[in-house]
């Protein structure tokens, strides 16, 4: 059999790294991309075919596609869009440049990469496009406006793409994790410090009364329902190999719970339930 190939983004740690290692061990030709060149070199030393890909840089995305197809001989079985970050904080404290940057990284870059790979998938008559979304892609929670917005956008985009590709041989799936044990929340603290001027905020009292401590604490400890990144990889493998992959894959019980509550509770009740999250 021809070796199956996949491009995975965000492989420096967490979900992307676990997926790359697992699929590599199973015999896949894995193109593992990272935003940082130092992480690329680290993965190369580990034995991966690794490339640099920065979703916020259109030239970087174009170069990554060229390098990927050069590594695979011009074909590709799947892409796993995964690399993303959060900027925690109240919506009114997020400056426009922060929202622009996170949409470039979490949404526009994903569209750009997927679109550039479409001619290859079309020519082959098959392909798998898997998007790593979140429980926050269908259930909003406070203090997460930037991330909520990008994931809600991703879900609408992916649902549309899946319908448009119906019957083409190209399958599209969403993976929607809840809390996963990664560096994600620690990285989010850095983004908060880069973008949010909380000391000048009208909500400064809220920050000092507990919100700031909550944001800082989010990078440590274990969240209820938290699983390791291998839980996401398990769903990814099904999306890659099933004859009829699912449109959505929930990961962790908080995601299952949120999905169930949205089906039975009115919006006002959901707001009351989640406003302290």
Pick the catalytic residue: 55, 85, 147, 249? Answer: 147
Cα-only R_g, the chain: 19
Half-sphere exposure at residue 119, Cβ-oriented, CA atoms within 13 angstroms: 6
Residue 128 vs residues 5, 68, 156, 214: alpha-carbon distances, Å: 10, 15, 18, 38
Asked if residues 133 and 232 have their Cβ atoms less than 8 Å apart, the reply is: no
| DSSP string for residues in 105-173 | IIIIHHHHHHHHHHHHHHHHT-EEEEEE--GGGTS--TTBHHHHHHHHHHHHHHHHHHHHTTTTTEEEE
Nearest to 50 by CA among 24, 22, 77: 24
Nearest to 104 by CA among 142, 63, 59: 59
Nearest to 182 by CA among 138, 247, 226: 226
- Cα angle for residues 98, 104, 105 (degrees, 5° grid): 90
85 flagged as catalytic: no
Measured between alpha carbons, how far is 267 from 45 in angstroms, rounded to an integer? 50
Catalytic residues, by residue number, are 147
């Amino acid at each position: 059999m021809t070796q199956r190939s996949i491009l995975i983004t965000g492989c420096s740690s967490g979900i992307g790294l676990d997926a790359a290692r697992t699929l590599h061990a199973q015999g896949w030709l894995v193109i593992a991309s990272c935003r940082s060149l130092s992480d690329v070199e680290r993965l190369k030393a580990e034995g991966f075919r690794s490339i640099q890909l920065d979703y916020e840089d259109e030239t970087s995305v174009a170069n990554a596609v060229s390098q990927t197809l050069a590594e695979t001989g011009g074909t590709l079985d799947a892409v796993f869009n995964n690399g993303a970050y959060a900027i925690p904080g109240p919506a009114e404290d997020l400056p426009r440049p922060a929202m622009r940057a996170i949409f470039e990284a979490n949404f526009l870059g994903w569209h750009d990469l997927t679109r550039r790979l479409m001619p290859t998938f079309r020519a082959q008559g098959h392909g798998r496009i898997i998007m790593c979304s979140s429980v926050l892609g269908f259930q909003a929670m406070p203090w997460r406006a930037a991330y909520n917005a990008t994931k809600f956008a991703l879900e609408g985009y992916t649902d549309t793409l899946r319908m448009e590709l119906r019957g083409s041989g190209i399958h599209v799936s969403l993976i929607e994790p809840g809390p996963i044990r990664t560096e994600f929340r620690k990285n989010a603290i850095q983004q908060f410090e880069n973008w949010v001027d909380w000391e000048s905020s009208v909500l400064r009292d809220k920050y000092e009364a507990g919100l700031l401590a909550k944001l800082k604490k989010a990078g440590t400890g274990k969240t209820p329902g938290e699983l390791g990144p291998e839980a996401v990889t398990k769903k990814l493998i099904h999306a890659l190999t099933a004859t009829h992959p699912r449109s959505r894959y929930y990961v962790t019980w908080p995601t299952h719970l949120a999905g169930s509550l949205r089906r039975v509770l009115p919006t006002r009740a959901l707001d009351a339930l989640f406003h302290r999250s």
